[in-house]
Amino acid sequence: MTCKVLTIVGARPQFIKAAAVSREILRHPGRIEEVMVHTGQHYDPNMSQVFFDELQIPAPRYNLEIGGGSHGAMTGRMLEGIERILVDEQPDWVLIYGDTNSTLAGALAAAKLHIPVAHVEAGLRSFNMRMPEEINRILADRVSSLLFCPTQGAVENLQREGLEQGVHNVGDVMFDVALHYREQARESSAILASLALVENGFVLATCHRAENTDDPVRLGEILRALAHIAKGLPVVLALHPRTRKLIGEHGLQQWLEPLRVVEPLAFLDMVALEQAAMAIITDSGGVQKEAFFYQVPCITMREETEWGETVQLGCNQLVGASCQRIVSAFANLATHPVGPQCMPYGDGFASRRVVELLLGEPE
């Protein structure tokens, strides 16, 4: 009997993670079937379709086209749309990724219909309840039957919350992705040439979290810091559409002038830039970890991170949104950092373990 898995994705990081697991599912024809649902949370082609194309993810069977709006409005519309699909498809599992509104909507819709939920990246905690992502993670974990943890630290977080049944440390599917695509990105991407960049001769930056973008003071501090760093080294800012909009609303456009501002990048172009950068400055959880995988020093514009291992191993610094702290951290970076002495994110076979557990096979 074929196991039917309904996968729910909606944002760039989820497309990337789903690529690894979907590729593994295709290795088991006749045993497991995947139905992909795209909520439309990221609807810009540069943040959506390009990832399906480059990563060879199966085309979504359903696209809810729900993008924009408040957290409550977006999640509610997703919940309604996903519920209809679940009633029609009657899957054996609902597979969710990460910590977005799409994740939460999928978890709630499935739980209310008594369909078991499997959560990839379970157990991550920033311990900052002001972050929407933290609320989404906690609630998704509480209703999941299979909790796929990327690290031992995530397992321990769940244990402290009384969650032990169905918990598995499978490793990080993002590490699977990094190993699979890093050489392909080096060989096929022309982004360095098109931006006239040289390896180890530029800084890569991203900024998208609401705590930074919605506050004009914090966003101004970040942009001032990037502009200061750009006096000595090119700074490539991959600009999220929402961040660009808020920069305009806050009247901060002048700080973009010293930067090399680019639209959201295709996956392989982003990986090529991450590997070649002298340093990465970001508030993205996924980009922090990719920096770690590629042994590029990272400065994180937050006071906490769900990826604490990157800080503990000396590869990531938390600096908040202070211009002075960002600039100081950058000035103190070693040009050729020593890579981590251990890899806490598994062995590159997390996706295989996820599929085996969905099929009911022992680890």
Instruction: Just list the catalytic residues.
Output: 208
What residue type is assigned to position 356 of the chain?
Answer: E
CA distances to 26, 94, 171, 174, 288 from 152, rounded to whole Å, are 28, 24, 9, 16, 18
In angstroms, the CA 123 to CA 164 distance is 11
Contacting residues for 241 by C-beta, under 8 A, at least 6 apart: 44, 47, 264
**Rounded to an integer, what is the distance from CA 319 to the centroid of its chain?**
20
End-to-end, the C-alpha distance of the chain in Å comes to 21
Please say whether the beta carbons of 87 and 6 come within 8 A: no
**Rounded to an integer, what is the distance from CA 146 to the centroid of its chain?**
20
Q: Is 86 helix (H, G, I), strand (E, B) or coil?
A: helix
In angstroms, the CA 91 to CA 109 distance is 12
